[in-house]
C-alpha cells in the first residue's frame, strides 16, 4: 500500500512549572492512502498530542525535540506557518471531540462553512461557496440544509453540530482526516450514527482516516489497522484482525482482557495493575514495566526497539527482541 503519512522518531516535550513532561517518546507510525487507522490508549497517553503535532497546532509550551512528520514525502515540521495554513483544511482536516468549543457562537453555520471554502478554493465567490456548503450539509444527511445555514451553533443539537464539523472537515476534499474522540460528547445512538457517517464518507471520498478513541469496539468495526499507545509510546500496531486474534504486547493483552465481550459469557474483567506513570519522571527503559507481570531486568534499563514479528505486525517489547 502507498504511504500517505509517515511519522519517524517523533519526540515531544511540554515545559511546565512542575517540570518537563516527556509526552511523546520516539513514535514511529505510518498511515496508508485510503485506510482507517485506529489510535487507541488510556486517557493521557498522548493520542491527541500526536494528532496536533501533525497539524503543528501544539500548545506554545510544547517543543518537538526531534523527528519527522512526512506527508506525501514532505516534512511538515519544516514548513512555515503560512504553508501550514494552506495544508490545514485542504490537505489535512480534523474533527474535534466538542464542536461547541470549535464552532464560533456569534457566526452562523453558513458563514463558518463558507469561510473554510473561500479560504482554500481559488477565485470562488460567496454564492458559489454557499451552494457548495448546502451540498456538503446534504452529504452529511443534515435535514433542511438551507435553514441550517442561517442558524447559530446553540440552535442545533450535539449530533447536528458534529455533522457540521464533519461537513467543514470534508468540504475541501482533504487527503487525511483526523477524528479526535469525535463522538465523546454524544449519546450512544448518535455516536453510532456519526461513526457510520464518517465511515461512509471515508469510503466514498477515499480519504485516509486516523480515528482516535479509547473504545476497542469502535476500532474493531470501523478501522483497518490499529496502533496501541501507552505513555507516549506506540507499543503495538498491526491489522485489526491480527490485534484481536493474537495480541503480543502485555499492555494490549491487558486492554483486551479489561474490555467486555458481548459474544462471551460475562465474567470478571481483569484490570491492569498500577496506574499510568507521571511523564515528568517516567520509568526508565520500557515505560510499561512497573505494571507488567512479564518485566525482566532489561525492561528496567533499556527502551525496547520496534520489532516486526509478523509481516505488518510491529511490537515494542523485550519479550520479542
Residue 312 lies in a domain: no
Q: 126 and 168 in one domain?
A: yes
Q: 203 and 146 in one domain?
A: no
Q: 231 and 158 in one domain?
A: no
Q: How far is CA 225 from the centre of its chain?
A: 13
Q: 223 and 265 in one domain?
A: yes
Residue 282 lies in a domain: no
Number of structural domains (the chain) is 2
Contact 95, 103 (CB under 8 A): no
Dmax (CA) of the chain: 67
Q: 250 and 148 in one domain?
A: no
Q: pLDDT tens digits, the chain, 321 residues: what are they?
A: 799 999 999 999 999 999 999 999 999 999 999 999 999 988 889 999 999 999 999 989 999 999 999 999 999 999 999 999 999 989 999 998 777 778 899 999 999 999 999 888 877 888 899 999 999 999 998 989 999 999 999 999 988 998 999 999 988 889 999 999 888 777 888 888 889 989 998 988 889 999 999 888 899 999 999 999 999 999 999 999 999 999 999 999 999 888 776 666 656 778 888 888 999 999 999 999 999 999 999 999 999 998 999 999 999 999 998
Q: 12 and 109 in one domain?
A: no
Q: 264 and 197 in one domain?
A: yes
Question: What's the pTM value of the predicted model, to 2 decimals?
Answer: 0.92
Contact 77, 29 (CB under 8 A): no
Where is the domain boundary, 147, 173, 199?
173
Measured distance CA(40)–CA(35) in Å, rounded: 16
- Where in the sequence is the domain holding 164, given as residue range(s)? 102-173
Where is the domain boundary, 142, 158, 173?
173
Contact 100, 161 (CB under 8 A): yes
Q: 106 and 40 in one domain?
A: no
Residue 33 lies in a domain: yes
Residue 319 lies in a domain: no
Measured distance CA(11)–CA(320) in Å, rounded: 24
CATH at residue 208: 3.40.50.300
Q: 121 and 109 in one domain?
A: yes
Residue 288 lies in a domain: no
Contact 230, 45 (CB under 8 A): yes
Q: 246 and 112 in one domain?
A: no
For the packed helices 126-139 and 109-120, what is the interaxial angle rounded to 10 degrees?
A: 110
Residue 313 lies in a domain: no
* Sole residue written with cell 514532505: 74
pLDDT of residue 120: 85
Residue 12 lies in a domain: yes
Measured distance CA(88)–CA(315) in Å, rounded: 31
* Class of residue 308 by CB neighbours under 10 A (exposed 0-12, middle 13-18, buried 19+): exposed
pLDDT of residue 22: 95
Measured distance CA(211)–CA(56) in Å, rounded: 18
Q: 157 and 84 in one domain?
A: no
Which residues face 37 on adjacent strands? 210, 225
Q: 203 and 268 in one domain?
A: yes
From first CA to last CA, the distance across the chain in angstroms is 27
- Residue 309 contacts by C-beta under 8 Å, 6 or more apart in sequence? 248, 315, 320
Residue 187 lies in a domain: yes
Where is the domain boundary, 173, 192, 215?
173
* Class of residue 264 by CB neighbours under 10 A (exposed 0-12, middle 13-18, buried 19+): exposed
Per DSSP, the residues of 109-143 read: HHHHHHHHHHHHSTT--HHHHHHHHHHHHHHTT-S
Number of helical H runs and strand E runs in the chain? 11, 12
* Sole residue written with cell 514479528: 309
Amino acid at each position: 500500500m502507498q504511504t500517505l503519512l509517515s511519522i519517524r522518531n517523533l519526540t515531544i516535550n511540554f515545559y511546565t512549572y512542575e517540570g518537563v513532561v516527556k509526552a511523546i517518546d520516539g513514535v514511529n507510525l505510518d498511515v496508508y492512502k485510503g485506510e482507517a487507522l485506529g489510535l487507541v490508549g488510556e486517557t493521557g497517553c498522548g493520542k491527541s498530542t500526536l494528532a496536533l503535532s501533525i497539524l503543528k497546532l501544539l500548545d506554545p509550551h510544547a517543543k518537538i525535540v526531534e523527528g519527522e512528520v512526512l506527508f506525501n514525502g514532505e516534512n511538515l515540521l519544516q514548513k512555515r506557518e503560512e504553508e501550514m495554513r494552506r495544508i490545514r483544511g485542504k490537505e489535512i482536516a480534523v474533527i474535534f471531540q466538542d464542536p461547541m468549543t470549535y464552532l464560533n457562537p456569534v457566526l452562523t453555520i453558513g458563514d463558518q462553512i463558507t469561510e473554510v471554502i473561500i479560504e482554500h478554493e481559488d477565485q470562488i465567490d460567496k454564492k458559489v461557496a454557499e451552494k457548495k456548503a448546502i451540498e456538503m450539509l446534504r452529504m452529511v444527511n443534515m435535514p433542511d440544509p438551507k435553514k441550517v445555514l442561517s442558524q447559530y451553533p446553540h440552535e442545533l443539537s450535539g449530533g447536528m453540530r458534529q455533522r457540521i464539523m464533519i461537513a467543514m472537515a470534508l468540504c475541501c476534499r482533504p487527503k487525511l482526516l483526523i477524528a479526535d474522540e469525535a463522538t465523546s460528547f454524544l449519546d450512544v445512538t448518535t455516536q453510532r450514527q456519526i461513526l457510520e457517517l464518517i465511515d461512509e464518507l471515508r469510503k466514498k471520498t477515499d480519504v485516509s482516516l486516523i480515528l482516535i478513541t479509547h473504545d476497542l469496539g469502535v476500532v474493531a468495526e470501523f478501522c483497518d489497522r490499529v496502533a496501541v499507545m501507552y505513555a507516549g509510546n506506540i507499543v503495538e500496531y498491526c491489522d485489526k484482525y491480527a490485534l484481536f486474534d493474537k495480541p503480543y504486547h502485555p499492555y494490549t493483552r491487558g486492554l483486551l482482557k479489561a474490555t467486555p465481550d458481548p459474544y462471551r459469557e460475562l465474567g470478571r474483567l481483569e484490570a491492569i495493575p498500577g496506574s499510568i506513570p507521571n511523564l515528568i519522571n517516567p520509568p526508565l527503559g520500557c515505560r510499561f514495566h512497573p505494571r507488567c507481570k512479564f518485566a525482566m531486568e532489561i525492561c528496567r534499563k533499556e527502551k525496547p526497539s520496534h520489532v516486526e514479528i509478523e509481516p505488518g505486525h510491529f511490537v515494542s517489547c523485550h519479550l520479542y527482541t
